[in-house]
Chains A and B, each alone.
Chain A
């Protein structure tokens, strides 16, 4: 009998598939069983055996015909923010509880073309608004390392599914940290690429100048084929980039950059990262950082130093301001994007109403959860007459100052920035129920990278918390279009450490 859990990496499983030692259909059936057996973690929002098995049979055909690529037959799943034909797409909202898209998101389509087999749709925070996955209309997701704790968010289902071994890869989206933070809390690897490199077409919009899709997986090496397949220019997305510093934004770019960086590290011999300057922002190590997280980051930096890198002190003086800037810009864009949910064309419609305006407002109030309503109200306020300049434009000006800080550090002082992803390890489910703003403050280390549109990733670098069993993530931020090199750096670290190989069963 085939067991997905026997395979710990995408290359290992891919090799077994191509050697025909396992079939994609057996593997998919096994993975579906495992996903169902795991239902108490509330990771999946929709599973459909027939849809998955049909994709698996196509993958087996490609394998039989010798048309298989690195992802053919690999079980993955999609955050429920990506629209999919067949599977429901709810954005974890009552508003879209029964919505079935007439088309696939570009990312979904590309991963399918690459042969990956989707197990279905993964829970997240409603419309990607949240950092705990508690804002799902369908109940919280449980952290695989401690079922009483949050998996992070908003791509919490994605991170939990990978950490539990239910899939080898998952899609996520990151608007202010929503790939990196759950990756950190669940002990998996995740990357948010440069804004504009992955198509937003078919991703339910939250804050369009920030939203960017990225994959989550067990290791940097597994992220490479996933991100490579997801990336590329798409005329259907008005902010999709045709080129990346003169090079075509197309499949193959990430892989080529990863390979080139690997070759350079290889050629450098005993100190593969010699010459690499790691910028460590002093503002990331303030009093808000928990001691266990700080210690894990320090140890990770020592590993990089042992590989030849040097450490330089850098400053991102406006780190603190990224919180108010983000929580003006993102709600502003959200209030505009979510105005489309009017109870007319799709989505929830109230049963009782008097006229059109009453129908719309009743439908929206019933369909949206608390956090979504909160952000719509904030967004409406900062965009309203008399406040637009004082809040919205001011936030956009501060955004440019934050971007300039990163540019200055990355162009003058260092080649890459490293630091914590989160101030602490995953909190308990329900802990911030009385204080919905508290979670916003916890986004402090990830928001600036999103505002700047820079590539950033999280990789596991240790454990903390009272039990000593809660994962901690290291954040790595690069220059624009640096995804391949970041993944290669992370891979070097993962060759020297085994944090990424730990699983909750052996915590």
Chain B
């Protein structure tokens, strides 16, 4: 089932990507080729097979480990500033973004 130009526009939007018309037609061609490649999976009979998310799941039980949802008192203003150093725009300890709500 081949993708249409419209499908590519929708995928680009979902992916948070802007494609110009050149990119768009190349992506269209390439994605249809890639779909041809991954289409091979459809021919496999996987009846009764559980999807595998963790590669060692067949070897040993895998428990999802979660940390406590607790504030870390060690977090200091210096650490906050260190993190904000990589922000494209920051002001008084906050990330700046374009206006979202008028």
Does A pair with B? yes
Residues of A within 8 A of B (CB): 98-100, 102, 194-196, 209-210, 235, 238-239, 241, 245, 320-321, 323-325, 327-328, 335, 339, 342-349, 353-357, 359-362, 364-365, 368, 373-374, 376-378, 380-382, 384, 390-391, 393-401, 403-404, 407, 436-437, 440, 450-453, 480
A480 CB to nearest B CB, Å = 5
B95 CB to nearest A CB, Å = 6
B17 located at the interface, meaning its Cβ lies under 8 Å from any Cβ of chain A in the complex:
yes
* Contact indicator A382/B98 (Cβ below 8 Å): no
> Which residue of the partner chain B has the closest CB to A96?
B86
Given contacts A238-B64, A327-B34, A355-B98, contact A404 B44 (CB under 8 A): no
Q: Which residues of A contact B15 (CB under 8 A)?
A: 335, 364, 373, 376-377, 380
B58 located at the interface, meaning its Cβ lies under 8 Å from any Cβ of chain A in the complex:
yes
B40 located at the interface, meaning its Cβ lies under 8 Å from any Cβ of chain A in the complex:
yes
How far apart are the CA atoms of A342 and B27 in the complex, in Å?
21
Interface 1/0 per residue, B86-98 and A, CB below 8 Å: 1111000001011
* Contact indicator B41/A321 (Cβ below 8 Å): yes
Interface of chain B, helix or strand or loop or mixed? Answer: loop
Q: Which residues of B contact A327 (CB under 8 A)?
A: 34, 37-38
> Which residue of the partner chain B has the closest CB to A372?
B17
How far apart are the CA atoms of A343 and B37 in the complex, in Å?
33
Given contacts A102-B79, A335-B15, A345-B86, contact A382 B58 (CB under 8 A): no
* Contact indicator A397/B27 (Cβ below 8 Å): no
B66 located at the interface, meaning its Cβ lies under 8 Å from any Cβ of chain A in the complex:
yes
* Contact indicator A325/B41 (Cβ below 8 Å): yes
Q: How many of chain B's residues have a CB under 8 angstroms from any CB in A?
A: 55
* Contact indicator A403/B98 (Cβ below 8 Å): no
B79 CB to nearest A CB, Å = 7
> Which residue of the partner chain A has the closest CB to B39?
A324
* Contact indicator A349/B88 (Cβ below 8 Å): yes
Option from B12, B27, B86 in Cβ contact (under 8 Å) with A99? B86
Option from A210, A355, A374, A380 in Cβ contact (under 8 Å) with B14? A380
* Contact indicator A209/B53 (Cβ below 8 Å): yes
* Contact indicator A393/B44 (Cβ below 8 Å): no
Option from B8, B41, B50 in Cβ contact (under 8 Å) with A328? B41
* Contact indicator A195/B55 (Cβ below 8 Å): yes
* Contact indicator B11/A403 (Cβ below 8 Å): no
* Contact indicator A345/B87 (Cβ below 8 Å): yes
A428 CB to nearest B CB, Å = 22
B85 located at the interface, meaning its Cβ lies under 8 Å from any Cβ of chain A in the complex:
yes
Q: Which residues of A contact B40 (CB under 8 A)?
A: 320-321, 324
Q: Which residues of B contact A362 (CB under 8 A)?
A: 18
Q: Which residues of B contact A241 (CB under 8 A)?
A: 56
Option from B3, B33, B50, B60 in Cβ contact (under 8 Å) with A400? B50
* Contact indicator B58/A407 (Cβ below 8 Å): yes
How far apart are the CA atoms of A328 and B46 in the complex, in Å?
16
* Contact indicator A324/B41 (Cβ below 8 Å): yes
Interface 1/0 per residue, B1-42 and A, CB below 8 Å: 001000010011111111100010001001101110111111
Q: Which residues of B contact A359 (CB under 8 A)?
A: 97-98
Per the 8 Å Cβ criterion, residues 50-102 of B in contact with A are: 50-60, 64-67, 79, 82-83, 85-89, 95, 97-100
B33 CB to nearest A CB, Å = 6
A326 CB to nearest B CB, Å = 10
